[in-house]
Amino acid sequence: MFAELKKINQRPKPYEVYTAETLWTDEHTSKQMLEMHLNQSVDMASRNKVFIQLSVDWMVSRFNIGSGTRICDFGCGPGLYTTPFAKKGAAVTGIDFSNRSIQYAKETAAHLEIEYILQNYLTFKTDKKYDLIMMMMCDFCALSPAQRKIILAKFYEYLVDEGSVVLDVYSLSAFEQREEITTYEHLQLNCFWAANDYYGFMNTFKYLDEKVVLDKYTIVEETRTREIYNWLQYYSLDALRAEFEKNHFQIEEYYSDVAGKPYHSDSTEMAIVARKAVS
């Protein structure tokens, strides 16, 4: 028992283990995640309904989205952005590795010009070119440095010349508010992790030099034990700008959120518009 508890509470190296796909594809948790997506009164798996509408309206205006605009949503979930953009006449592609989310999105997108792709966007390939690529809900922060390099290379390849990326990230202000904690709970998160009986441990580890936080969940069931690693990178504006410039993008604008709220240094999030640099 002592050895097991020691293992549960052991601090891994940054991005040593990556389990995001498991979280979104497990039969039980994927159902729970979809329910969180669709509960649009709270900011859980997706933003709340009011914010999403503000965000859609801002992006439609900012990028002049309309008939013929080609958009790709990396991590589209159940289509909370792709559907309204398609209703504006845009040709939209949505990528997600949650089968439940993709199926829901398809069911609500009848007669709309949306192509849904069930795939990990890190392995996504296409011959298409897009005017706008988007990644919402700070999904960029959940990727390791190596994965972010892969995704930025895909953004660059799949954008038209002078095409744009819009995404949001967590700020250093949010990083400062995070604390290292350890919790233990029977049926943790109200039966989120499994349909049967289980015990859940959560360890939050903070990596000061890397500006990274890990929420590690250890789920102990009668017949199996699972570990879920939720990594999050936090950014200063300068660090984000440097990462994008290194990968051939120029950050043109920055905001406090993806609804165009003016930037404030105390904001817990940042949103950017980055333009593909063409030599």
> Chain-wide mean pLDDT for the chain?
94
Separation of alpha carbons 237 and 9, rounded Å: 32
User: Exposed, middle or buried: residue 64 (CB in 10 Å: 0-12, 13-18, 19+)?
Assistant: exposed
133 & 246 share domain: yes
77 & 147 share domain: yes
Q: Which domain holds residue 210?
A: 2-12+174-232
pLDDT at 169 over 90: yes
Tens digits of residue pLDDT in 184-218: 999 999 999 999 999 999 999 999 999 999 999 99
Residue 22 within any structural domain of the chain? no
Coil/strand/helix, residue 106: helix
* Cross-strand partners of 278: none
Tens digits of residue pLDDT in 234-261: 999 999 999 999 999 999 999 999 999 9
CATH at residue 225? 2.20.25
6 & 107 share domain: no
CATH at residue 34? 3.40.50.150
Return the sign of the alpha-carbon dihedral for residues 52, 165, 264, 232. Answer: positive
79 & 204 share domain: no
82 & 203 share domain: no
Cβ atoms < 10 Å from Cβ of 279: 3
Write down the pLDDT at residue 45.
65
Residues 6+ apart with CB under 8 A from 258: 55, 58, 59, 136, 166, 167, 168, 271
Residue 87 within any structural domain of the chain? yes
pLDDT at 42 over 70: no
Write down the pLDDT at residue 1.
87
Side-chain half-sphere CA neighbours of 170 within 13 A: 19
124 & 154 share domain: yes
Residue 66 within any structural domain of the chain? yes
Share above pLDDT 90 across residues of the chain, in percent, rounded to a whole number: 85
Domain count, the chain: 2
